[in-house]
Amino acid sequence: MLFSSTLLKRGLITWKTNWCRTFFGRRKTPDLGTCNIITSVGNVSPERPIPEHIAKPPYYFVRNSPSTGEGQPEIKSQEQIRGMRESCRLAATILNSACSFVKAGVTTDEIDEFVHDETIKANAYPSPLRYLGFPKSVCTSVNNVACHGIPDDRNLLDGDIINIDITVFFNGYHGDCSRTLLIGNVDDRGRYLVECTERCLSEAILCCGPGQPLCVIGKSIDKYAKRKKLSVMPAFAGHGIGSFFHGPPNILHFDNDFPGVMIPGMTFTIEPVLSLGTCEAEILEDAWTAVSIDNARSAQFEHTVLITNEGCEVLTVAS
Q: Is 165 annotated as a binding residue?
A: yes
Whether 212 and 220 have beta carbons less than 8 Å apart is answered as no
Residues contacting 281, CB < 8 A, separation 6+: 146, 233, 235, 290, 291, 292, 293
| Separation of alpha carbons 11 and 146, rounded Å | 20
Cis peptide preceding 128, ω within 30 of 0: no
Q: Is 285 annotated as a binding residue?
A: no
| Separation of alpha carbons 230 and 225, rounded Å | 5
| Separation of alpha carbons 239 and 71, rounded Å | 12
Q: Would you mind telling me the total number of residues written for the chain in this entry?
A: 319
| Separation of alpha carbons 128 and 112, rounded Å | 11
| Separation of alpha carbons 124 and 172, rounded Å | 9
Q: Is 53 annotated as a binding residue?
A: no
Q: In terms of C-beta density within 10 A (0-12 exposed, 13-18 middle, 19 or more buried), how is residue 140 classed? A: buried
Instruction: Give the SS3 label for residue 141.
Output: strand
Q: Is 148 annotated as a binding residue?
A: yes
| Separation of alpha carbons 199 and 317, rounded Å | 16
**What's 204's DSSP letter?**
H
| CB count in 10 Å sphere of residue 24 | 8
Strand arrangement of the beta sheet that strand 231-232 belongs to: 231-232, 273-275, 298-300
Instruction: Give the SS3 label for residue 100.
Output: helix
- Show binding-site residues for substrate: 148, 246
List residues forming the annotated binding site for a divalent metal cation: 165, 176, 239, 271, 302
Binding annotation: 148, 165, 176, 239, 246, 271, 302
